[in-house]
Amino acid sequence: MQNTSNKEREDILNEANSARWELGLNFHDTVIESIYANASQIARKTVTQKGEKEAYSTDLKIDKIVTSRWLGFPLMFLMLATVFWLTVAGANYPSGLLASLLVDYIHPILKSAAASINMPWWLDGVLIDGAYLSMTWVIAVMLPPMAIFFPLFTLLEDLGYLPRVAFNMDNLFRKAGAHGKQALSMSMGFGCNAAGVIATRVIDSPRERLVAIITNNFSLCNGRWPTQILIASIFIGGLVPAQLAGVVSAGAVVGIAVFGIFLSLVVSWGLSKSVLRGEASAFSLELPPYRPPRIWQTLYTSLIDRTIFVLWRAIIFAIPAGIVIWLVANIHIGELSLAEHFIQWSDPFAIIFGLNGVILLAYIIAIPANEIVIPTILMLTVLSTKLTGGAGDGVMFELDSVGDTANILHAGGWTLLTAVNLMLFSLLHNPCSTTIYTIFKETKSWKWTLVSTFLPIVMGLVICFFTTQIWMLFVVG
């Protein structure tokens, strides 16, 4: 006010005086009353008098169970396991219908149409057997699980349970130098890692958000669940009587998922103590009251904003992958295709890690979409072993019978060790191209995108190597 003139000060005082009368004579009393009213309202929610019913008593009783030291984690794993089970079990039938429609019905129609216009065989193969089939496998395998998982996950979020999950996991992630909200992005990653990376936006700290982004790939996305379930059913479920096969197979898959959570904590700790050094930030989490989910808003958010968005990205990247698959199986150098040359060249290297050349090539080709791993492995196995079956060189396929699939894999030299290492490598390999692109969009950094891409590969190879050596020492030796 020192630099203001007397006239300006007079104007300010006049304005204040006018406003004072406009607000009324009781303005001061009204403000004080509202403050005391708010204080009383807050007190009634937290303080109870003898004979009065406790405010939010139902919410508090539920929280004493779901956030308790002894029951919180078992209930959390049971809830997430139920969501996973509903996703996997519920997706089987619609996935089969989509595959039947897109592969068994429309694919032959497209082949007939191409033949009727005398389309060159190579163009027919690239466009229909390559690009189209790759796109259809992604849609058939990816759409039903996402359409189930994302609405269920959003319902838990809307209900108010997911903040309790973050509360339960906060202590573990804080000890690992990460943020408690990383539990939410990790859980979202079980549906889709690209969506999990986007979900890290809820973390305010740039350092802790980067930790969450790098480690999100350790959550098994829905594209990797079919691989885990099929391999576990054939090689691990086959070790026990038929009546126990389902339980044992499911236990093996859940074990891989829990191992991924453990590695997420370990890598978070390692990053926070080295290249992303820093203290875990304080996490003030207000637990919202439980409320009925908003069904229509949940369906819109989960199906349009998440499912369709992620699926579209996956399709864009899967189409070029299908073209590459067909080309490497049909372009020959000498008597062997490019795929066969690579498989023979990489087999000695892959065996060191308990894998084989078919698996390495399948995962290189399937970078755009994890959903095409099993169809690609079956096609490459038939191609490299000269088995009868399949639908032609470079044509991805799956078999209705688990037994027929097992026969092809056994003919390709697969053992229990191969299956175990594949399950581990399925957990620990590079993110799909959709997730890699999302990581770059979120971090705006090639450096951290490359770290997020190659760190899991290195870890996967190291763990498979030691698994193989221990297996050879104690099981074979």
pLDDT tens profile 154-193: 788 788 887 787 788 878 888 888 887 888 888 888 878 9
For the cut 80, the answer to whether the pLDDT of residue 209 exceeds it is yes
Instruction: Tell me the C-alpha distance between 313 and 328, whole Å.
Output: 24
| Mean pLDDT on 232-254 | 82
| Mean pLDDT on 360-377 | 85
For the cut 90, the answer to whether the pLDDT of residue 68 exceeds it is no
pLDDT number for residue 259: 94
Residue 188: closest CA among 318, 83, 285: 83
> Where does residue 331 fall: left (phi above 0), alpha (psi -120 to 50 degrees), or beta otherwise?
beta
| Mean pLDDT on 251-270 | 91
Q: Among 178-187, 191-200, 466-475, name the one with the lowest average pLDDT.
A: 178-187
For the cut 60, the answer to whether the pLDDT of residue 108 exceeds it is yes
For 278, phi then psi, to 5°, come to 165, 160
Instruction: Tell me the C-alpha distance between 454 and 214, whole Å.
Output: 10
Q: Give the count of beta carbons closer than 10 Å to the beta carbon of residue 341.
A: 16
For residues 390 and 214, the model is more confident at 214
For residues 241 and 456, the model is more confident at 456
For the cut 60, the answer to whether the pLDDT of residue 476 exceeds it is yes
- Give percent of the chain above pLDDT 90: 26
| Residue 413 C-beta-side C-alpha neighbours within 13 Å | 13
pLDDT number for residue 20: 64
Which of 129-138, 235-244, 408-417: highest mean pLDDT?
A: 408-417
pLDDT number for residue 352: 94
| Mean pLDDT on 378-387 | 81
Please return the burial class of 398, using the count of CB atoms within 10 Å of its CB with bins 0-12, 13-18 and 19+: middle
* DSSP of 319-330: HHHHHHHHHHHH
* Partners of 336 in the β-ladder: 333
pLDDT number for residue 392: 57
pLDDT band at 212; cut points 50, 70, 90: very high
Residue 434: closest CA among 236, 171, 231, 192: 192
For residues 346 and 299, the model is more confident at 346
pLDDT number for residue 477: 60
pLDDT number for residue 262: 93
For residues 199 and 425, the model is more confident at 425
| Mean pLDDT on 125-151 | 81
pLDDT number for residue 470: 93
Structure token pair of residue 63? 């929280």
Q: Among 35-44, 51-60, 268-277, name the one with the lowest average pLDDT.
A: 51-60
pLDDT number for residue 32: 76
8-32 confidence digits (pLDDT tens) = 777 787 777 777 666 665 666 677 7
Spell out the residues 6+ positions from residue 158 whose beta carbon is closer than 8 angstroms to its own.
291, 293, 294, 297, 298
For the cut 90, the answer to whether the pLDDT of residue 129 exceeds it is no
For residues 226 and 338, the model is more confident at 338
| Mean pLDDT on 201-207 | 87
For the cut 60, the answer to whether the pLDDT of residue 379 exceeds it is yes
For the cut 50, the answer to whether the pLDDT of residue 1 exceeds it is no
For the cut 60, the answer to whether the pLDDT of residue 3 exceeds it is no
pLDDT band at 338; cut points 50, 70, 90: very high
Sign of torsion over alpha carbons 371, 372, 377, 382: positive
8 A C-beta contact, residue 118 and residue 164 = no
For the cut 90, the answer to whether the pLDDT of residue 434 exceeds it is no
Per the prediction, the chain carries an average pLDDT of 82
Structure token pair of residue 325? 């698959």
Q: Among 239-243, 309-313, 365-369, name the one with the lowest average pLDDT.
A: 309-313
pLDDT number for residue 452: 96
pLDDT number for residue 315: 80
Which of 285-289, 373-377, 393-397: highest mean pLDDT?
A: 373-377
Q: Among 3-7, 119-123, 128-132, 370-374, name the one with the lowest average pLDDT.
A: 3-7
pLDDT number for residue 213: 95
